[in-house]
Structure 1
């Protein structure tokens, strides 16, 4: 006769399934399985602990407190449960509960290393002080492009204020500027984990790291998340769409690039740069009429840039509007009288129209 599964066997199965889902990146599924397990086995300390840790990875620090407290209460001699709870308090800026936790640990019979680590966390929280002056100084170093100083200050700040996104963000920018891409990625991921809002802009920074590392698929997926979220502000949408368009251009996907640049230009309609990028791609596709429309908008926003007038002239030329092309080339030539390429195009258009330059 087959033996019926025991409650412990069922718990181990759910725990293994949750672990498999976690390893495969299905964090939400892993959380669901662990919730089911702790409902059935409320004294299962490891399940509470793993649930809390997964919730922190989803930036749900407040939600993680309850399962982590239960893990500590159920297995009070397991040091890593205490440390995970302490980290949650620290990330949430709850310094008083953290100090109380460290005091309790000293008389709870925990190993000396755990007691010492908890005391260090509590002391760091106590001495960190007001983060505003530090964040202001980080901003000043960023504006001055003092990348070495920015990194040094940011590294200290993330130790003092690990629950704040801004120091992690500045650390990521400093590392990115110094081409330390792995460190930049780690910093931006921490910033995402701690940011209460504005995560779309952080994701664009992370996408830059992925692109520079050659992880193009991950960069594109991250940018797509930003553009599909519906939460990104227009400047962030513009940055994400522009970067995505540049990736498509590099891969020769001009149709997709045009879609991305159109999205960028729509998000920032006063920018000549994005209308110009759209016009360039449309021109490369042979869509002269649409290219002319985009380049006219670019020229209207930056009439002092000769290159835009040259490209507008090329679009008009391709569309068969030779008189208008000649006018555009003439404007470009006035702005850049020593540019031989512009002069050659102007002379060709003038010859075809019979006009004198």
Structure 2
């Protein structure tokens, strides 16, 4: 539970930073009103008042479905409420994808409903919120960061729904759309798969995330934690036999963050495997 709460704090802190951005420049009265509603919705989402944010953006998107940014804000609120099918449709509208046709393309074999974690705000950084271009008549502009956050949010949705391949593809699309945030997208992907309990996907995501952010200690912990499920017990010594790469990942975590939040767990695993702790890591 402690690890889960910490992960949620990591995700929420990233979202809060993105939500604190300046309002969209307004040029007309209608645009000013739209800006005010979007700012209010962001504030509500940042405060976890997801239902309030959803209500505001649902009205805006109903009044003018051609606007892009309100669909993103609506999806963020719905994701916070764990309304995954609704959030999926909203982000697809933001991307210009027909939700119904794409929904039919998903294979039923990937769907396994799961509800293993608390609601969190979407995990991708949104450096630019100018999807409406400052004026309502430019609302069709899909900037790279809008595409990135939409695809990353879809990745989170699919992970919750057990659509692992779809989730991985969505995160890949987020990286391709907005490579400037590739490290954060991959980090978020790793955490999401950790939270839904898919060790194989978690390991694969960590392997992609580490080269992009090699000094991020938690990534090595998540890599080691993903591998620990493959550990066995030596019948003679009764010690854990760690799979290749597992001990090294935990050791690297302790090297970078010897007193970090996962240090006790990492030390326990290494000790259980009969691996001496390095100096300064006791």
Aligned equivalent of 1:247: 157
Aligned equivalent of 1:168: 34
Q: 1:285 aligns with which of 194, 198, 201?
A: 198
Aligned equivalent of 1:205: 73
Residue 298 of structure 1 and its aligned partner are, at CA, apart by: 1.6
Q: 1:345 aligns with which of 246, 249, 266?
A: 266
Residue 215 of structure 1 and its aligned partner are, at CA, apart by: 5.3
Residue 216 of structure 1 and its aligned partner are, at CA, apart by: 4.2
Distance 1:234 1:173, change over 3 A: same
Aligned equivalent of 2:137: none
Residue 310 of structure 1 and its aligned partner are, at CA, apart by: 0.2
User: How does the TM-score come out when normalised to structure 1?
Assistant: 0.44
* DSSP 3-state at the match of 2:259: coil
RCO higher in 1 or 2 (8 Å CA, sep ≥ 6)? Answer: 2
* 1:30-179 superposed matches below 5 A: 143=21, 161-162=29-30, 164=31, 167-178=33-44, 179=49
State whether residues 326 and 350 of structure 1, in contact with CA within 8 Å, keep that contact through their aligned partners in structure 2: no
Instruction: Measure, in 2, the Cα distance between the counterparts of 1:313 and 1:326.
Output: 7
Give the alignment's Cα RMSD to 1 decimal. 3.9
State whether residues 182 and 212 of structure 2, in contact with CA within 8 Å, keep that contact through their aligned partners in structure 1: yes
| Per-residue Cα deviation, 1:252-274 (whole angstroms, up to 9, x for no partner) | 54444333333323334453232
Aligned equivalent of 1:260: 170
Q: 1:226 aligns with which of 90, 94, 113?
A: 94
* DSSP 3-state at the match of 1:338: coil
Aligned equivalent of 1:185: 58
Instruction: Measure, in 2, the Cα distance between the counterparts of 1:216 and 1:328.
Output: 33
Distance 1:170 1:189, change over 3 A: farther
Aligned equivalent of 2:85: 217
Residue 338 of structure 1 and its aligned partner are, at CA, apart by: 2.4
Which structure shows the bigger proportion of residues in helix conformation? Answer: 1
Give yes or no for the alignment of 1:328 onto 2:249: yes
Instruction: Measure, in 1, the Cα distance between the counterparts of 2:88 and 2:170.
Output: 12
Aligned residue pairs, count: 197
User: How does the TM-score come out when normalised to structure 2?
Assistant: 0.53
Gaps of 5+ in 2: 1-19, 99-140, 232-241
Residue 168 of structure 1 and its aligned partner are, at CA, apart by: 0.8
Aligned equivalent of 1:303: 214
| Per-residue Cα deviation, 1:249-305 (whole angstroms, up to 9, x for no partner) | 444544443333333233344532321333345663342xx6444313322333333
| Per-residue Cα deviation, 1:318-352 (whole angstroms, up to 9, x for no partner) | 56774532222122113332246434334533653
Instruction: Measure, in 2, the Cα distance between the counterparts of 1:175 and 1:344.
Output: 39
State whether residues 235 and 268 of structure 1, in contact with CA within 8 Å, keep that contact through their aligned partners in structure 2: yes
State whether residues 168 and 191 of structure 1, in contact with CA within 8 Å, keep that contact through their aligned partners in structure 2: no
